[in-house]
Amino acid sequence: MTLPSRVKLVDVGPRDGLQNEKQALSAELKIGLVHRLQDAGLKHIEVTSFVSPKWVPQMGDNAEVMAGLQRRDDVRYAVLTPNLKGYEAAVLSRPDEVVVFGAASEAFSQKNINCSITESIERFAPVVSAALAAGIAVRGAISCTVGCPYEGEIAPERVTMVARLMKDIGVQHIGVADTIGVGTPRKVQRAMEAALQVYALDDVSGHFHDTYGQALANTLATLEMGVWQYDTSVAGLGGCPYAKGATGNVATEDVVYLLHGMGIETGIDLDRLIDAGVYISQALGRQPNSRAATAVLNKRLGG
């Protein structure tokens, strides 16, 4: 077992975390969150999504948010682009990376993006070609790699199949997502092994939701495989509109606390990260959904 000495975290809070919030949030607030995340040391941030505002109203200010960023050369700004129309709008905002997302479950694919897995790949192919031709990095996400709210348990072979389809159209990096948070360490390791049949270790990442409180355990289980890249969400923001009961991604603060406690570098300042989580949580009228943040905030109060 060789643990990585350094881990890269992609904070997906501004996009994956905020997209399901019912209350309208200003572009200024979202820009403020991205700035606080980069001030805390995040080098890779999923900022927004170029989808139809009819489906995801919260992301309707995507161009405004991208235009308002004070960009840093050492930070990668990613956007979600589900189809060519989305990509054509996104490219005007000069993203460093575009993200396409498929599923290892046919039923989830139909519910989430209204098409089959094969059709979703056909939609992504021109997006990937255009992005690569423009020198923009392309990341792919595979949702429901462990379980699906409609199909139940997902066989690892399906993860391999979707990873291969994505590799064939040129997707450079793949995220293995436990979208509804039902995974436990061995199951998540099997899903990751399935992706690693197609992608190199340096080109995979974990994306774990904490519905059953397993996200940190699943992070540790994949760290032990050598995986060194993860999607996390500040203050544990997020959920999934098509996965009833799914809580947010694992909180960035909790993963940073885990990693630092294991002597693994992240380049992230935990205190500043917690402040970023407080900033967005206060705007949403709630406490950060992070155990580490809660403990540190209580300590600051002398509690």
Alpha-carbon gap, residue 289 to 249, rounded angstroms: 10
Looking at 114-178, list the stretches that DSSP marks H as alpha helix, in order from N- to C-terminal side.
117-133, 156-168
User: How many Cβ atoms are within 10 Å of 64's Cβ, its own excluded?
Assistant: 15
Averaged pLDDT, 109-129:
89
Alpha-carbon gap, residue 150 to 257, rounded angstroms: 34
Averaged pLDDT, 99-119:
87
Q: Which residue has the tokens 């479950």?
A: 105
Q: Binning pLDDT at 50, 70 and 90, where does residue 247 land?
A: low
Quick check: 215 pLDDT over 80?
Answer: yes
Helix (H) or strand (E) holding 98: strand 97-103
Partner residues linked to 49 by β-bridges: 80
Active site residues: 240
User: What confidence tens digit (pLDDT) does each residue in 176-206 have?
Assistant: 999 989 999 999 999 999 999 999 999 999 9
pLDDT over 70 for what percent of the chain? 96
* Pairing label, strands 229-232, 137-143: unpaired
Partner residues linked to 97 by β-bridges: 78, 137
Helix 156-168 vs helix 117-133: crossing angle, to nearest 10: 40
Alpha-carbon gap, residue 147 to 136, rounded angstroms: 31
Distances, alpha carbon 11 to alpha carbons 6, 16, 186, 234, 248, in Å:
16, 9, 25, 7, 12
Quick check: 261 pLDDT over 70?
Answer: yes
Q: What number of residues does the chain have?
A: 303
